[in-house]
Amino acid sequence: MSRYRIGIDVGGTHTDMVLFDAADNSIVIGKLPSTPHNPAIAVLDGVKRFIAEGVAPGDIGFFGHGTTVATNALLEMKGGPIGVLVNRNMRGILEVQSQARDGWSPFDHFFRKPEPLARPSFVKEIGGRIDYAGAEIEALNEDDVVQAAKSLAEKGVRSFAICFLFSFMNKTHEERAAELIRAAAPDAFVSCSSHVLPRIREWPRYSTTLLNAFLAPVLSRYCGDMARGLDAADVSTRQRFLMQSNGGVMPLAADAQVHTVRTLLSGPAAGVRGASYLLGQAQGWRNLVTMDIGGTSCDIAFIENGEPVEQAEATIDGRIAAVPAFDIATVAAGGGSIAWIGASGLIEVGPRSAGASPGPVCYGKGGEEPTVTDANLLRGALNADYFLGGSMKLDLAAARGVLDKKIARPMNTDVETAACGIVRIVNARMVDAIRVEAAKKGIDLAGHTLVPFGGGGPVHAAQVAEQLGMRRVLVPRNPGAFSALGLLCSDVRHDYMRSGMADISTLDPAFAEASFASLETQARAEISAEGLDESRIVFEREFDMRYVGQGYELRISLSGLPVPLDRDALDAAALRFHDIHAEAHGHAARDNTVEVVSYRLRAIVPMPKFEPQKKMSGASATPRAIGERRILLDAGREVSATVWRRDDLAADFAAEGPAIIEQLDATTLVPDGWRFGCDAYDNIVLERTGA
């Protein structure tokens, strides 16, 4: 392993950087303002900063990066224009979609489906048909494909989605259409549904492929800018990685035409992976709720028995991305979330954010709208003279002025009450989201520990935990850069799947084994092409299974079952399905026929990871507080909080709240009724002392 490893995570306000030095097992963290117009600029500036401080480019052996480029392009509808090829008479699938209101309330009477990613005139019907068993019943009309490609290319289309019926059973028509498109438009991006998502159900497959085509030009351009920038900085390592939604990384130079859709949750996934590995696996904290508060949002996830809760498909802004992803819920509640007076005359917070430019008013960069950060500063939770370790001064007078003008006076109240109201609203939003997500998953929050990170997480965490009835909060050593650190704890992970329905009681074990073997061959070829050692691959197998007639499946791990598969292994998988169905739904129909719907394979290439080190207990001198500060914990309730610097706290130190713990990348607020101390790994552990 080379001496240096770099992890960089782009947030809405700041770009967080972590440099790991293997020579002494130390880390250095940094923050730069994000550059929303081109996020690669801040990332590359971060790399150059490390180099300017003495890091030799040739000694950088790993570069990991989490990005929201694809997510933001989707939310802002800034992907490229796409052309879509479908079977004759099947263009209605893109309009009808499904009956489900994916990601939306079923009680919303004003519900409207999301804006189509492709213009209706850019959807072309193509002759040819594959049947449900994969047999060709009508040859592909190649003239239709060529004509469609040329006409769409003339209209400026540079990205195509090919979505034919039953292509997951036979992909020849889609692959031939892709060849014809590339011949007619050599610079085009082409996304085949049989490559992006070879599984049953037309709309999830089509939706995922459309997303991939819509975002491929954006991510490809971004990855190209990043690669050229690293080359220009003489960072020559081939280990350049991009975080995926499943918590693994893929090579930065990977084929964006196939894998783009897998990066939609790239940003928040890194922090969840960090919590799972650093806290769950390395330190023994097994059941966690993570709360990642950045500049624009709060991302919530759950870790059960050391592993993040996953979902087989994600819904983003009402659109299905049917690829494995961490189950992350996002709330518009970040430090830059803008507070305003709604039509009811009451305070609203978000979803608009001041972001990195201009940022909160107290940043002094031209912001004119009050934000959550301004409110936290005004109530005393933040130190105007020690923001980012003192490298950035906050303008308290400006924050007070804008809160008075935009919130307090219109509501006929004082500024302090307005600030507390903003914080109370944003806390309540996070509480509601965590409570709802926990109820969906059947999770008892009383037995879990809340883990806040991101620049804004620790300042809100204890008050959120108290409302949820949670008794413990764990603040990791570098919460503000925790997602960037998570990039140094990730393996390369690729997911593959193939649908093929069969009654498991009559399924030929040799056929099932051959299906997995085929996916393994594909995985080895792709991973080898990425310059990684295929001999180090670890495979994980799963079935998607259901009772015959059900409209949904459950993912059943085949871990521990014999390879190659035999009859006993398939029978054991069926028993696992019954048990997991009973756990998930409260019942199991053990006499009913069980059906295998799809084969899933995860290929993992283990990577060297940052390993947390225990901190020596027993300081040479008892830590001393650096002062006291009056803070408002709620409207009308002001307390005197002891102020500590985190670097001064010893591993066996403990004290009572109210307290404020300051560090470079975050501020931790400890209300009254809580005690806090540092554990052996230098985490701050907060525990409630009251009922």
User: Do 482 and 321 touch, CB atoms closer than 8 A?
Assistant: no
The DSSP secondary structure of 237-283, one letter per residue, reads -S-EEEE-TTS-EEETTS-HHHHGGGGTTHHHHHHHHHIIIIIIITT
Tell me which of 574, 605, 636 is where a domain ends: 605
User: Do 361 and 395 touch, CB atoms closer than 8 A?
Assistant: yes
Strands 307-308 and 298-304: antiparallel
pLDDT band for 568, please (50, 70, 90 cuts).
very high
Strands 637-645 and 659-662: parallel
pLDDT band for 76, please (50, 70, 90 cuts).
confident
Q: Which residue has the tokens 């007619």?
A: 184
The DSSP secondary structure of 531-574, one letter per residue, reads T--GGG-EEEEEEEEEETT-S--EEEE-TTS-SS--HHHHHHHH
pLDDT digits (tens, 9 = 90+) for 637-679: 999 999 999 988 887 788 998 999 999 999 999 999 999 999 9
528 shares its domain with 656: no
Segment 187-212 shows an average pLDDT of 94
Tell me which of 175, 193, 219 is where a domain ends: 219
First vs last C-alpha separation in the chain: 50
Tell me which of 168, 184, 219 is where a domain ends: 219
582 shares its domain with 682: no
81 shares its domain with 207: yes
What type of residue is 466? E
Q: Does residue 13 register a pLDDT over 80?
A: no
Q: What is the CATH number of the domain that holds 102?
A: 3.40.50
**Spatial separation of the C-alpha atoms in residues 430 and 436, rounded to whole Å:** 10
Average predicted confidence (pLDDT) for the chain = 92
User: Do 271 and 454 touch, CB atoms closer than 8 A?
Assistant: yes
Where helices occur in 262-395 by DSSP H, the ranges are 266-274, 372-378
User: Do 2 and 56 touch, CB atoms closer than 8 A?
Assistant: no
What pLDDT score was predicted for residue 256? 56
Which carries the bigger pLDDT value, residue 202 or residue 76?
202
Q: State the Rg of the chain over Cα.
A: 26
pLDDT digits (tens, 9 = 90+) for 570-592: 999 999 999 999 998 999 999 99
pLDDT digits (tens, 9 = 90+) for 15-33: 999 999 988 888 999 888 8
pLDDT digits (tens, 9 = 90+) for 360-396: 999 999 999 999 999 999 999 999 999 888 888 999 9
87 shares its domain with 204: yes
In a domain, 562, yes or no: yes
578 shares its domain with 638: no
Q: Does residue 349 register a pLDDT over 80?
A: yes
pLDDT digits (tens, 9 = 90+) for 132-175: 999 999 999 999 999 999 999 999 999 999 999 999 999 999 99
Residue range(s) defining the domain that contains residue 578:
492-605
599 shares its domain with 657: no
In a domain, 327, yes or no: no
Strands 288-293 and 298-304: antiparallel
563 shares its domain with 638: no
Share of the chain above pLDDT 90, in %: 73
93 shares its domain with 212: yes
**Spatial separation of the C-alpha atoms in residues 259 and 242, rounded to whole Å:** 11
598 shares its domain with 636: no
679 shares its domain with 559: no
For residue 221, the surrounding DSSP H or E stretch is helix 202-232
pLDDT band for 103, please (50, 70, 90 cuts).
low
87 shares its domain with 187: yes
530 shares its domain with 664: no
Q: How many domains does the chain have?
A: 3
Which has the closest alpha carbon to 9: 394, 485, 354? 485
Question: What's the token pair of residue 434?
Answer: 């965590």
